[in-house]
Amino acid sequence: MLNQEDGTFKSDKDLAKIFKDKNIDTTVNTINSCGSGVTACIVDMALRIMGAEKTAIYDGSWTEYGQVDEPDFKQGAKQGWDEPGKN
């Protein structure tokens, strides 16, 4: 999505081709996420350069999600999910 020479975004035409080649529908609601939120910001900006209006960033991404305890499906408990400040 970025030009290697100078770090600027590729043209809107080049960006459109990237998304089209990956079968990404830029007309639907899109939430961008990644490991820490940085790459998600780049993808979000690329979508906006192309004119996408239904895009958002989950800035906590996998780093935040990984800190939440998973439910205990065997016992039916939601430890970590329903505690204040943990969701």
41 found inside a domain: yes
In the chain, how many domains are there? 1
Domain region containing 41? 25-65
34 catalytically annotated: yes
Taking the C-alpha atoms of residue 15 and residue 1, their distance in angstroms, rounded to an integer, is 6
Taking the C-alpha atoms of residue 30 and residue 40, their distance in angstroms, rounded to an integer, is 11
pLDDT tens for the chain, residues 1 to 87: 999 999 999 999 999 999 999 999 999 999 998 887 789 999 999 999 999 999 999 877 777 777 777 766 666 555 555 555 554
Structure tokens at 66: 């990984």
35 found inside a domain: yes
44 found inside a domain: yes
**Of 34, 41, 42, 45, catalytic:** 34
| Total residue count of the chain as it appears in this document | 87
- Sign of the CA dihedral with 19 first, then 1, 47, and 17 last: negative
